[in-house]
Amino acid sequence: MTIVEQTSTGFDEAAFQQLKAEVTEWVRGRGEEWAEEIERTGQVAPELFQELKANGWLSLAAPTELGGRAVPFSRYLEIMEIVSRSHASIRMLVHVINGTWRAMAPYATPEQIEQVVKPSVAGDTLVAFTLTEATAGTGADIRTTVRREGDTYVMNGEKHLITFGVKADYWLIAARLEGTTGQDGTVAFLMPNSGLPGAEVIDDSDTMGIRGTDHAILRFTDVPVPASALLGAEGQGLEVALGGFLLPSRVSVAMSAVGLAERANELAVEYANKRETFGKQLSSRQAIQFYLAENYADIAAARALVLEAARAYEEDRPDAGTLSSASKMVAVDMLARVTDKALQVHGGQGYWKRNAIERVYRDARAQRFEEGTNEIQKLVVGRAVVTGTAGF
């Protein structure tokens, strides 16, 4: 296993290129075997999780002081691009575990760093990002509430579409103080998923794609949450969720769309090169070449925007948030076009589960709502454009 980390002597480019080669080899070999197993069983086996952990791929992005390998964000996305060519549940594990520390670390107490953040980076503790609700958006209108009673907060409400919400050891959860509105009343907790009275966990994992990743509906009825679970200060709940996690996570999801689109087009090329119609290879047909050319250009353009958004985040530029939303908006629309054309190249064969493009096509739909729908991203970008803060 290649060790890559940012040191005082600089980034080890040779080691990083070796890491990329190792990930690529795994994705094409062992990763495909795991993909077939996940589709067959509908589960991510504990052995797969341990394999990802042993390879060091769950701790790529975090700084060394948290036990990570300190791969710079834009370079980490190159690994995400490769991993995303594999099964969506594998991508989801790498994506989430390499990202949740960003929301936790700046606000965590020393005790929370040792008890939750470092174990999460190490892959020993699983933390689920818990924001979305069925009856509200994913921002200042959240309705899950808490009230302070001495050394305890009492929580009521419901969350849904919570990835890893069933198996997580902790929920990184956003709520609001009873009687408040807007962002100022929001709070965040590192809340243990340990049988708290009044907490109901409903397995909601029967999805179109991303088979094997667990998802939960969480219902809270007068659930006692220890005050020591508070992450940051009262009023910082959305700051933790939106700035700490969602901004870079949107860029990561955008790069996952690039990687999956690359896999879809690769499958289309492979099929077109072996399929014959009327004595000629399908790939020699002009209509098919147009599909593949359009896909190539679409992917390249989206990838360039994603990397620009990553650099803006790294440099803490004022347009980082706008570019984050723009990159996801463009990349997921691109993924829809590319996978549709890739499936069309396969003709009727692509509709059967025995062909990998069928799974890729299903998995591609998830990015459309991960970390906010495109409608939300357009609102963010649109507001930046009309107020002159978009950057150009």
pLDDT at 314: 94
Domain count, the chain: 3
Residue whose pair of structure tokens reads 């463009």 in the numeric block: 330
pLDDT at 4: 61
**Same domain for 148 and 94?**
no
Instruction: Read off the tokens for 270.
Output: 């492979």
CB 223 within 8 A of CB 147: no
Q: How confident is the model at residue 2 (pLDDT cuts 50, 70, 90)?
A: low
**Same domain for 95 and 131?**
no
pLDDT at 10: 76
For residue 37, is pLDDT > 60? yes
- Residues 349-369 have a mean pLDDT of 93
Q: How confident is the model at residue 135 (pLDDT cuts 50, 70, 90)?
A: confident
Is residue 2 one of the residues assigned to a domain? no
**Same domain for 247 and 354?**
yes
Strands 152-163 and 145-149: antiparallel
Of the two residues 130 and 183, the one the predictor is more confident about is 130
- The helix/strand/coil state of 259 is helix
For residue 358, is pLDDT > 70? yes
For residue 392, is pLDDT > 80? no
Number of other CB atoms surrounding residue 182 within 10 Å: 12
pLDDT digits (tens, 9 = 90+) for 212-241: 999 999 999 999 999 999 999 999 999 998
Identify the bridge partners of residue 186 per DSSP, sorted by sequence position.
176
CB 224 within 8 A of CB 152: yes
CB 77 within 8 A of CB 307: yes
**Same domain for 30 and 134?**
no
Is residue 381 one of the residues assigned to a domain? yes
Residues taking part in catalysis: 371
For residue 125, is pLDDT > 70? yes
pLDDT at 139: 76
**Same domain for 118 and 134?**
no
CATH (domain of 248): 1.20.140.10
Of the two residues 376 and 262, the one the predictor is more confident about is 262
- The residue range of the domain holding 224 is 127-235
H/E stretch holding 199 reads strand 199-203
Of all residues in the chain, the percent with pLDDT exceeding 70 is 97
H/E stretch holding 233 reads none
Of the two residues 110 and 277, the one the predictor is more confident about is 110
**Same domain for 383 and 273?**
yes
Q: How confident is the model at residue 168 (pLDDT cuts 50, 70, 90)?
A: very high
pLDDT at 141: 87
Q: How confident is the model at residue 155 (pLDDT cuts 50, 70, 90)?
A: very high
**Which of 31-35, 108-112, 203-207, 232-236 shows the lowest per-residue confidence on average (mean pLDDT)?**
203-207
Q: Which of 178, 206, 235 is the last residue of a domain?
A: 235
**Same domain for 244 and 368?**
yes
For residue 19, is pLDDT > 80? yes
Number of other CB atoms surrounding residue 147 within 10 Å: 13
CB 79 within 8 A of CB 57: yes
Of the two residues 370 and 144, the one the predictor is more confident about is 144
Q: Which of 235, 256, 280 is the last residue of a domain?
A: 235
CATH (domain of 225): 2.40.110.10
For residue 7, is pLDDT > 80? no
**Same domain for 147 and 108?**
no
Is residue 18 one of the residues assigned to a domain? yes
Residue whose pair of structure tokens reads 């939106």 in the numeric block: 242
Q: At what angle do helices 320-346 and 356-363 cross, to 10 degrees?
A: 150
- Residues 302-309 have a mean pLDDT of 98
Is residue 150 one of the residues assigned to a domain? yes
- Residues 70-86 have a mean pLDDT of 97
Is residue 8 one of the residues assigned to a domain? no
Is residue 7 one of the residues assigned to a domain? no
Of the two residues 277 and 254, the one the predictor is more confident about is 254
Computed over every residue of the chain, the mean pLDDT equals 93
- Residues 96-100 have a mean pLDDT of 94
For residue 391, is pLDDT > 80? no
pLDDT at 207: 87
Answer yes or no: pTM beyond 0.85. yes
**Same domain for 243 and 383?**
yes
Of all residues in the chain, the percent with pLDDT exceeding 90 is 85
**Same domain for 51 and 100?**
yes
Is residue 4 one of the residues assigned to a domain? no
| Alpha-helical regions (H) of the chain | 13-28, 30-41, 46-54, 73-83, 88-97, 100-104, 110-112, 118-122, 237-238, 247-274, 286-314, 320-346, 356-363, 374-387
pLDDT digits (tens, 9 = 90+) for 193-206: 998 999 999 999 98
**Same domain for 189 and 295?**
no
Instruction: Read off the tokens for 53.
Output: 């952990």
Is residue 312 one of the residues assigned to a domain? yes
- Residues 87-98 have a mean pLDDT of 95
**Same domain for 282 and 343?**
yes
Instruction: Read off the tokens for 340.
Output: 């549709």
- Residues 291-298 have a mean pLDDT of 98
Number of other CB atoms surrounding residue 105 within 10 Å: 19
- Residues 86-114 have a mean pLDDT of 95
Q: Which of 235, 250, 266 is the last residue of a domain?
A: 235
pLDDT at 242: 80
CB 272 within 8 A of CB 345: yes
Phi, psi of 177 (to 5 degrees): -70, 135
